[in-house]
Amino acid sequence: DTEVTQTPKHLVMGMTNKKSLKCEQHMGHRAMYWYKQKAKKPPELMFVYSYEKLSINESVPSRFSPECPNSSLLNLHLHALQPEDSALYLCASSQDRRGAYNEQFFGPGTRLTVL
Partner 1 sequence: GDSVTQMEGPVTLSEEAFLTINCTYTATGYPSLFWYVQYPGEGLQLLLKATKADDKGSNKGFEATYRKETTSFHLEKGSVQVSDSAVYFCALKTNFGNEKLTFGTGTRLTIIP
- Least separation, in Å, of the C-beta of 108 and partner 1? 4
Sheet holding 73-79, edge to edge: 4-7, 18-25, 73-79, 64-70
- Least separation, in Å, of the C-beta of 16 and partner 1? 28
Cβ proximity to partner 1, 56 vs 80, nearer residue = 56
* Kind plus residue range of the DSSP H or E element containing 68: strand 64-70
Q: What is the rounded CA–CA span in Å between residue 89 and residue 37?
A: 6
Cβ proximity to partner 1, 81 vs 90, nearer residue = 90
Query: In Å, what is the CA distance from 86 to each residue of 34, 61, 63, 100, 114?
Result: 15, 14, 13, 31, 5
- Least separation, in Å, of the C-beta of 89 and partner 1? 10
Site residues, partner 1 (CB under 8 A):
4, 6, 40-43, 45, 56, 88, 90, 92, 97-109
Cβ proximity to partner 1, 57 vs 82, nearer residue = 57
